[in-house]
Amino acid sequence: MLTYNSSCENDTRSFAAEFASKLHGGDVVAFTGGMGMGKTVFVSGCADVLGIETHVSSPTFSIVNDYGGKFSVYHFDMYRVESWDSLYSTGFFDYLNENSILFIEWSENIDNVLPENTIYVDFSRGENENDRTITVHGGDGRW
Ligand SMILES: Nc1ncnc2c1ncn2[C@@H]1O[C@H](COP(=O)(O)OP(=O)(O)OP(=O)(O)O)[C@@H](O)[C@H]1O
Ligand SMILES: [Mg+2]
């Protein structure tokens, strides 16, 4: 397990870049922690390292963004996904393969279907407005 204290958006971005250098095909990155914590910021911090040239933005309405890159990188927002039917229609199960990397915001909503080697990235708030404690665990002990 790895814990990092971020005190601004740029801290989160640089921590994310370091994190992303350890990712490989087949990884599922599941975010937890609530609204406005920095999940989308974190994914954008991973972009350069993963060779993503597309602009990273919140897939709130599209549910999934496809970024391509060195791997096939998919960015989900499960905020509105509350049933099996809606989960199936996101294509989640079709995107899981050894060449893909999945980032999943609001993974709380689908935690019963996450694979065993899922990498969990949890955010919690600290004392100051911009403080975030980011905890990474899972991924077969890489963190
Ligand atoms: N330490 C920090 N790390 C990341 N973002 C921060 C930090 N401090 C402040 N922020 C601000 O918090 C906001 C985080 O927004 P972001 O869209 O990444 O959150 P999110 O967790 O994806 O939210 P949502 O659940 O709505 O998708 C941004 O406005 C960012 O500037
Ligand atoms: Mg977001």
Whether 12 and 126 have beta carbons less than 8 Å apart is answered as no
Among 96, 78, 75, CA closest to 32? 78
H or E segment to which residue 35 belongs: none
| Mean pLDDT over the full length of the chain | 94
Read off the pLDDT of residues 94-126 as tens digits, 9 standing for 90 and up. 999 999 999 999 999 999 999 999 999 999 999
Say what the pLDDT of residue 80 is: 93
DSSP string, 38-75: SHHHHHHHHTTTTT--SPP---TTTSEEEEETTTEEEE
pTM (2 decimals)? 0.96
Whether 29 and 119 have beta carbons less than 8 Å apart is answered as yes
Ligand 1 binding pocket includes 27 (Cβ within 6 Å): no
Q: What is the set of domains in the chain, with CATH numbers? A: 2-138 (3.40.50.300)
Read off the pLDDT of residues 18-76 as tens digits, 9 standing for 90 and up. 999 999 999 999 999 999 999 999 999 999 999 999 999 998 877 888 887 778 999 99
Say what the pLDDT of residue 137 is: 98
Q: Find the 103 Cα to ligand 2 centroid distance in Å.
A: 11
